[in-house]
Amino acid sequence: MSDYLRALDPFPLQGEKSTRLAPFYAALRQGKLITTFCAQCDRRHWPPRVVCPVCLSDNLDWVGLPRCGRIHAFTIQETGVPPGFPRPLIFAVVDINGLRIFTRLVDADPTSVRRGLEVELHPSLVAPDPQGEDRYLHTFAVIREERHD
Amino acid sequence: MHRVAFVGAGLTRFGVREASLRDLVAEAGQARFASQPHLMPQDIDGLVVGAVLPERTAFQSHLAPLVAEILGIQPRSLSARTEHMCASGSVGIRYAYACIAAGLAEVVMVVGVEKLNLPNTAEAILNMGAGVDRDWEACFGLTAPPAFALAAQLHMAEYGTTEEQLAHVAVKNHAHSSKNPYAHFRKGATLEEVVCSRMIASPLRLFMCSPITDGAAAVIVASEERAKDLTDKPVYILGTGQAVHGFSIASLDPDYASWPALRQAAAKAYGTAGIGPQDIDFAEVHDCFAIAEIIAYEELGFCPKGEGGRFVAEGRSDYGGDVVVNPRGGLMGCGHPLGATGVAQAVEAFWQLRGEAGERQVANACIGLTHNNSGMGEHVVMLYGRE
């Protein structure tokens, strides 16, 4: 893509030649959420790390995370949304096993979003990278529950 | 270690300006010079420039030498640009302070400047995402309003803070900025206007947010020895503190309604100055959004945790109250040209402490505080006094 300009690309470069976190994005393309784990510190990170922020080791393992979590906080943005992003934007911090994952909700009814709501990983396809490879983001969607009246 | 003081200041009008980044620098420099014509450019030995996004908004990097050239300064002790998002101006002042205190420089100009408005507003909004975590937040479309909206949601849930209390911050700051000829907004705002204004990111409405503003500000910082030759009313830096607890929202403690980094920065500032919150006569705090001012009251020690909404609603952060917060109108009233804000806060402190704040003058102002944040986990506090 000879007309690609890094300064205008809002998304991270996800390929092996661009980031040491390429495994995260590879797993995401498979619909999975993974993160890094430092065995020396017995500690999972979020977001995934290149070096452990405690011991600076780069000998980190990739571990799987559950796909589901609960909304810790959220906000719905209607105005001032950057170009190219959907309106309304529903941002959420999702709690998954004590990790707090910042994300955007897709396919959600804004009036039904509340703290404590259970959400599930639902990756979104965004613009491809300069080599034409697909890129995804770790967006989430509301889990549709059966009503018990 | 030398004591350090402000000896001069200048400001441009803040707003949506028909002016380039360079025009704004020239205007701030001229304003400073007009107030202090005996201090010529060649008398200034150092320069620090606070600017956040010139690479994006003016396609220009390498700012300090450019500003030096515009203002006729040839630094012979210090030349630097400081970037710390919205706290760039205060960080620039601290850097000048440290260099003078260490004897590296004697008379330093600190200029804060930002040109945010662009022919295409969409580009200006796109640029707002440059300050948050590109890979884990900005990629979703995050900018500052929704980030701070999370703090508002939790503060309302935990302490019962109301939309009306948030609105009181806006009404107060717009009233103050209506008396400030340099402010972006000069018409005032009623409670009803604020509460009925368009929703930006729930629960923050338009009038509870600072606008996209162009502007520049300048202060002259000098050693105590030089200060005495340059003005009969120097304004001294009494103390300062800075703390960064995290960059991305995911790394912060999950209670976004509490800002321990601000408490830590304030404690350091108060400790080195040997004073407490009760000694503060006025404070320019970082009201990027109304919730930020409410939380700042609590973390700066003006009121107990959780009481910030009541504090403003009862008039205790206004003239006649416990402490006058944002006498110039804050970010909400004056606007927020990112790199200029911290320096503009210092300019107000300078004028207040010299009795030169006109209609906005805080009676018997002896000690002032400025608070500049660059994220919920990043804060700078400065304390200023007449002696």
pLDDT digits (tens, 9 = 90+) for B315-351: 999 999 999 999 999 999 999 999 999 999 999 999 9
In the chain, the amino acid numbered B359 is: E
Task: Give domain status of residue A18, yes or no.
Answer: yes
- CA-nearest of A87, A92, A99 to A74 is A92
Split into its structural domains, chain A has a count of 1
Spatial strand order in the sheet of A43-44:
A43-44, A34-38, A61-64
Measured between CA atoms, how close is A143 to chain B, in angstroms?
A: 20
pLDDT digits over B166-188, tens only?
Answer: 999 999 999 999 999 999 999 99
Give the start-end residues of each E strand in B224-302: 235-244, 282-284
In the chain, the amino acid numbered B90 is: S
Q: Which domains does chain B have, with CATH numbers?
A: 4-119+213-236 (3.40.47.10), 142-209+239-385 (3.40.47.10)
Measured between CA atoms, how close is B62 to chain A, in angstroms?
A: 18
Sequence-distant (6+) residues with CB within 8 A of B131 are B52, B85, B86, B144, B374, B375
Task: Give domain status of residue A97, yes or no.
Answer: yes
Task: Give domain status of residue A148, yes or no.
Answer: no
Task: Give the pLDDT confidence score for residue A145 in this predicted structure.
Answer: 60
CB contact under 8 A, B200 and A85: no
Which ipTM was obtained for this model?
Answer: 0.96
Task: Give the pLDDT confidence score for residue A148 in this predicted structure.
Answer: 44
Number of neighbours of residue B22 by Cβ within 10 angstroms: 17
CB contact under 8 A, A80 and B139: no
CB contact under 8 A, B142 and A102: yes
Containing structural domain, residue A83: 11-142
Could you write out the DSSP letters of every residue in B6-34? EEEEEEPPPBS-SS-HHHHHHHHHHHHHH
Note the Cα A104 to chain centre separation in Å: 8
Task: Give domain status of residue A4, yes or no.
Answer: no
Task: Give domain status of residue A3, yes or no.
Answer: no
pLDDT digits over B353-378, tens only?
Answer: 999 999 999 999 999 999 999 999 99
Task: Give domain status of residue A1, yes or no.
Answer: no
Give the start-end residues of each E strand in B18-159: 46-50, 78-82, 107-114
Angle between helix axes B21-35 and B63-70 (nearest 10 degrees) is: 50
For residue B254, the chain A residues in CB contact (below 8 A) are 72, 93, 95, 100
- Would you call A73 an interface residue with chain B, using a CB distance cutoff of 8 Å? yes
- CA-nearest of B323, B332, B245 to B286 is B332
pTM of the full structure? 0.97
Task: Give the pLDDT confidence score for residue B1 in this predicted structure.
Answer: 80
Nearest chain B residue to A99 by CA distance is B250
Give backbone dihedrals phi and psi of B353, rounded to 5 degrees, phi first: -75, -15
Note the Cα A147 to chain centre separation in Å: 28
Task: Give domain status of residue A2, yes or no.
Answer: no
- Please give the Cα distance from B93 to B39 (Å, whole number): 19
Q: Which of residues 141-160 of B touch A (CB under 8 A)?
A: 141-143, 145-146, 149-150, 153-154, 157
Task: Give the pLDDT confidence score for residue B256 in this predicted structure.
Answer: 98
Task: Give domain status of residue A147, yes or no.
Answer: no
Nearest chain B residue to A114 by CA distance is B153
Q: What is the largest CA-CA distance in chain B?
A: 56
What is the rounded average pLDDT for all residues in chain B?
Answer: 97
- Would you call A4 an interface residue with chain B, using a CB distance cutoff of 8 Å? no
Nearest chain A residue to B155 by CA distance is A73
CB contact under 8 A, A102 and B138: no
Of A7, A77, A139, the CB nearest to B146: A77
